[in-house]
Amino acid sequence: MAEIRRDLVKNNWVAIAEDMALKPHEFPINKRGIETTGIHIFCPFCEGNESSTPPEIMACREGTSQPDTPGWSVRVIPNKFSAFHLEGVLEKTHSGIYSNYNGVGRQEVIIETPQHGIDLHDYDQERITMVIRVLRDRYNDLSQDERIKYIQVYKNRGIFAGASLEHSHSQVMGLPFVPRGNSGVAEYYKKNGKCLLCDIIAQEKQSGVRLVYESDHFLLICPYASRFSYETWVIPKQHCEHFGALNEAEITDLAMICRKYTRVMIESLQNPAYNFVLNTAPVNLPYQPGYHWYMEVTPRLLVTAGVDIATGMFMNPVAPELAANLFRERMLKIN
């Protein structure tokens, strides 16, 4: 199990996997020759290799196939290398000026397809819908554990986005604390008595310069302070705190947007690595107003430099107004 250590300089947390020490040659960067050869190496996420992963948590299966056998279309497994485990009680330990929590939590992998070599932008509407539904259901299931305070849903695609396996997957992580990444939304509410994301929606619809697309339920924008070139946010138009509250109509709409947007982005940016990361409200804590879930999609065309991380100030060579302009036209043309 990991230790979640307090970083006193940055006022944040670091998850340190104590029981596992990667050797230098085992890091993905040093293995990249192997990782990018694709389908010729053994892949634990491929159909038929179910026995090389931990037992599945759930799977979408047609017919009568048994767990941990072929016949699935989306499969959820525990992350084998997780820093978090749902065991025991959350404990805080002090050691002089330092402090840490034990890694009570959960990290799950959603294998989005049995097929190696295709990704989000290749899926049909039905598959994307299924993946989003599974993500929502895992979110809601993890939120039943009172030890979990925040559920982080995300996807790393490509080595430059931090993916260590090529086979298309996303992840759901249940954390025993609330990371402070989106703390600005609660502060904005305290100061203004209004939801920041609702205010962003209003201003972006009015100005239009960073607006990429609007559907029945969602707005796509390139955010005003984009940290990454071509960063794009998918925001539910109606105020909604939890990703887990997604209904079927919204899932269908979100699947349509994800399908179109990832196709446009992959094509426009020459098949980049990217992340998506959900921002959502904490769970199992007293109600705090100001949260409004949304999805950040961040193409990874520049490697994050040390100074971005040290200062928290990112340098972005592409204005979001230019990025929005590129995507806006192409979103209207794509099927």
For residues 274 and 278, give the distance between their C-alpha atoms in angstroms, rounded to a whole number.
14
Of the residues 169, 217, 242, 292, which is catalytic?
A: 169
Stretch that binds its own copies, among 50-58, 122-130, 156-164, 249-257 (CB under 8 A): 156-164
Instruction: Give helix 125-142 / helix 248-268 axis angle, nearest 10°.
Output: 120
25 carries an active-site annotation? no
Tell me how crowded residue 3 is: count the other CB atoms within 10 A of its CB: 16
At 108, is the secondary structure helix, strand, or coil? strand
77 Cα distance to chain centroid: 16
Residue 68 Ramachandran class (φ > 0 left, ψ -120 to 50 alpha, else beta) = left
Min. distance of Cβ 318 from its own copies in angstroms? Answer: 5
Binding positions for its own copies, 44-103, rule CB under 8 A = 81, 83, 96-98
Binding positions for its own copies, 165-184, rule CB under 8 A = 171, 173, 175, 179-184
Q: State which of residues 115, 252, 268, 284 lies at the interface with its own copies (CB under 8 A).
A: 268
At 218, is the secondary structure helix, strand, or coil? strand
Q: State which of residues 45, 149, 275, 331 lies at the interface with its own copies (CB under 8 A).
A: 275
Contact 324, 264 (CB under 8 A): no
Handedness of CA 30, 120, 328, 269 (dihedral sign): positive
Stretch that binds its own copies, among 51-59, 141-149, 250-258, 264-272 (CB under 8 A): 264-272
For residues 221 and 234, give the distance between their C-alpha atoms in angstroms, rounded to a whole number.
7
For residues 22 and 206, give the distance between their C-alpha atoms in angstroms, rounded to a whole number.
50
Stretch that binds its own copies, among 52-60, 64-72, 113-121, 192-200 (CB under 8 A): 192-200
Min. distance of Cβ 271 from its own copies in angstroms? Answer: 9
Looking at residue 222, the DSSP 8-state letter turns out to be -
Nearer to its own copies, 72 or 242 (CB): 242
Per CB under 8 A, does 285 bind its own copies?
A: no
What binding mask, one character per residue, do residues 136-155 give for its own copies by CB under 8 A, x or -? Answer: ----------------x-xx
Per CB under 8 A, does 264 bind its own copies?
A: no
Contact 229, 323 (CB under 8 A): yes
Min. distance of Cβ 6 from its own copies in angstroms? Answer: 6
Q: State which of residues 133, 147, 227, 263 lies at the interface with its own copies (CB under 8 A).
A: 227
Stretch that binds its own copies, among 19-27, 51-59, 118-126, 136-144 (CB under 8 A): 19-27
Per CB under 8 A, does 28 bind its own copies?
A: yes
Min. distance of Cβ 204 from its own copies in angstroms? Answer: 9
For residues 119 and 167, give the distance between their C-alpha atoms in angstroms, rounded to a whole number.
8
Binding positions for its own copies, 231-260, rule CB under 8 A = none
Min. distance of Cβ 114 from its own copies in angstroms? Answer: 24
Nearer to its own copies, 249 or 334 (CB): 334
Tell me how crowded residue 169 is: count the other CB atoms within 10 A of its CB: 23
Tell me how crowded residue 322 is: count the other CB atoms within 10 A of its CB: 13
What binding mask, one character per residue, do residues 105-124 give for its own copies by CB under 8 A, x or -? Answer: --------------------
Handedness of CA 203, 206, 207, 211 (dihedral sign): positive
Residues taking part in catalysis: 169
